[in-house]
Amino acid sequence: MSIGYACLNIGTPNTNIRSLMQRNAIPERLTEVTAHNLAALERMIDYNRKNDIKLFRISSDLIPFGSSPVNALAWPEIHKEAFDRIGSKIRKSGMRVSLHPGQYTVLNSPTEDVVARAIADLIYHDRILTALGTNQTNKIVLHVGGIYGDKKEALQRFEQNFRRLPEPVQNRLIIENDDRLYNIEEVLELADRLQIPAVYDNLHHAINPSPSGGADPYWIAEAKKTWKEADGKQKIHYSQQAPGKRPGAHTDTIHLETFLTFHEQLEDKQIDIMLEVKDKNLSAIKCQNATTIAPKASLLEKEWGRYKYAILERSPAIYQAIRTLLKDKEAYPVQEFYRLIDSAFAVETNPGYAENAAAHVWGYFKKQANEAERRQYEKNLSNYRNNTGTLATLKRQLFKLADKYDSEYLLQSLYFYL
């Protein structure tokens, strides 16, 4: 089983995806931003390889104006070296990548201009996957679209417009049930007619269930029937409802106990699960560690190394509880470990605790820092203590020092990001 995350990475420097305003979309700037985004993608791929993450959704914003006449550049050729290098890393690691066009890519619109733009956008997404040298198991996920007053006609229009897509795009396209208009039963019927795979989304089903009923295991099994060998392993989407927010809003992090209950119900434990959650890779590793067939203490120790100072600034008591928990090297208390971490992030950062954590981080390079850096640190700390400065300012300086003095351990710390 592979557990993945979508588009953005938390805790890895220089992985932001940049965009451009149309008035600035001149060839030089388009080339510059595309090169930046490809470098960011490569860092995320490197992170995934290092952490054995085999499932990843690439941002549709990778190429600015990639499906628009605004960008007429031959970007696959201009950036061929980067695409080849990244693609090689993806293939060698056994990683599976995908893309998910946004809400404006509507293949079943009654407006021809909208459909034409949707087709162009899907071709753009396929060009990315082709430039990376990926095969048909690397997919493009799409919702069916709108109803426009007649659901039957809208479904027929999707089928007609699907036939207009180039064959390579058809071979990559998979469709997903949504939380308002098209339930899983309707999506499966359409997928069967088109002979393409369907992606089951558990939260969308909870909000917009099929009238015939059926729980997650049933519909996952039904969706599996649409996946052919050439499409690779079945993939589903998993998320949890954020309490007190609009239906469909994702939680900040995956609550492990709920996920494990869902996981236990899965008939096929080799299924690919794409998490849709705000803390992205952090939840992916959490769920991966909780379901691994080779549990070992080093997995939790590695996680602790990244979380420890972010926990210390919130709760020294929880910090100490986790240290005590990990002393037994023969045990694998994964659920309690993440329960403690989640409970720490449920409380506000305490100013006194934050000062203490900052002092611990400062200790990594206080002997190397020059006098000007020491004075700046003391000033930033004093300003934070007196409410004339922010913790963010203090942490920015500490991050710069970690970078300057090449403290790899700190640069991988979530202290600077959470």
pLDDT at position 96: 98
Q: What is the pLDDT of residues 270-298, one digit of tens each?
A: 899 999 999 999 999 999 999 999 999 99
pLDDT in tens, 75-132: 999 999 999 999 999 999 999 999 999 999 999 999 999 999 999 999 999 999 999 9
The angle at the Cα of 273, spanning 267 to 278, to the nearest 5 degrees, equals 140
Q: Indicate the average pLDDT of the chain.
A: 97
pTM above threshold 0.75: yes
In this model, does residue 183 exceed pLDDT 90?
Answer: yes
Kindly state the average pLDDT of the residues 288-311.
96
Nearest-angstrom CA–CA distance, 29 and 19: 10
**Which residue spans of the chain are classified as CATH 3.20.20.150?**
2-291
Nearest residue to 216 via CA among 194, 233, 239: 239
pLDDT of res. 80: 98
Largest CA-CA distance found in the chain, in angstroms, rounded: 73
Q: Using one digit for the tens of pLDDT, what is the confidence trace for 35-59?
A: 999 999 999 999 999 999 999 999 9
Per-residue confidence band for 1, with pLDDT thresholds at 50, 70 and 90? confident
Give the per-residue pLDDT at 306.
96
Helix (H, G, I), strand (E, B) or coil at 276: coil
- Give the Cα separation of 202 and 216 in Å (integer): 7
> pLDDT tens across 326-375, in order?
999 999 999 999 999 999 999 988 999 999 999 999 999 999 999 999 99
At 18-36, the pLDDT tens digits run 999 999 999 999 999 999 9
Domain 2-291: which topology? TIM Barrel (3.20.20)
Cα(257)–Cα(255) distance, integer angstroms: 6
